[in-house]
Amino acid sequence: MIIANWKCNGSKAMTNTWVNNFLTNYDETKKAFIGIAPPSIYIQRLLETELNKLAEINIGSQDIDISSGARTGAISSDMILDFDCKFSIIGHSERRQLFNETNEEIKQKILKIAKKTITILCVGETREENKNDQTRDILKKQLEVVKDIELNNSLVIAYEPVWAIGTGNTPTPNNINEIHKFIKDVVQSTSYNSEYPMVLYGGSVNQENAKSFFKEEFVDGALIGGASLDGKEFANIINIFNETN
């Protein structure tokens, strides 16, 4: 599974160029689940492109709100389902840091969509927490949001160390592998139906380093920010994933 998170980037013109560059470079002989999460205002536009002819390509949302109604600026879970979104990213560190999102709100969001579409829950420690050897404790705390929730195999975890996002720094592939195994075990032992989730790695993945992560046993794919803004590079990363798996 390879997911693009465009964050707050894009334009009508960029969308057209992106789709052309992607389709020219994507090798569709193997069909891993591919997700693209544009800013929500561009979801419809992407759904109307040639991408829609490829069954393995799924458009998703970068977030949902906890509710609907008098909540200016928000987008509800029913709205993204109405637009045929096949997944939603929840709990991204930028939502936690810039929008003060709490674990409690993240849990409410998961409850809204977990049974209806794929939920990609982002977890990850800060640089300081990493330095203080608190990574496992922090992840355990963040993963409490799935405790006792019935998930119907819809949950995917993205391990995204905050210090690796957009910085060019990453943990070693071996470190990532160990943390992914830890995450799988924690979710299995705490979720209602003992789910053993897919775990994606996110944080400065690009076409140069992707292979080193994809070779690891417990790395089930990647969530990609910066490098997903170029349709060609995103396609190359998927091709590398498909060759490695």
Which parts of this chain interact with ligand PEP (CB under 6 A)?
A: 5, 160, 165-166, 202-205, 223-227
Contact status, residue 206 vs residue 227, Cβ threshold 8 Å: yes
- Cβ proximity to ligand PEP: between 150 and 198 the closer is 198
Identify the H or E element spanning 198.
Answer: strand 198-202
Residue number with CB closer to ligand PEP (202 or 231)? 202
Q: Which is nearer to ligand PEP, 166 or 208 (CB)?
A: 166
To ligand PEP, the closest distance from the beta carbon of 93 in angstroms equals 7
CA distance 43 to 121: 20
Q: Kindly state the smallest distance separating residue 94's Cβ from ligand PEP, in Å.
A: 7
CB-closest chain residue to ligand PEP? 225
Of 94, 160, 195, 233, the catalytic one is 160
In the residue annotation, 92 being an active-site residue is answered as yes
Helix (H) or strand (E) holding 238: helix 231-244
| 102 CB-side CA count, 13 A | 3
160 labelled catalytic: yes
Alpha carbons within 13 A on the beta-carbon side of 67 = 5
Residues for the chain: how many in total? 245
- 70 CB contacts (<8 Å, ≥6 apart)? none
Q: Shortest Cβ distance from residue 192 to ligand PEP (Å)?
A: 27
Q: Least distance (Å) from ligand PEP to the CB of residue 9?
A: 10
Annotated active-site positions, please? 92, 160
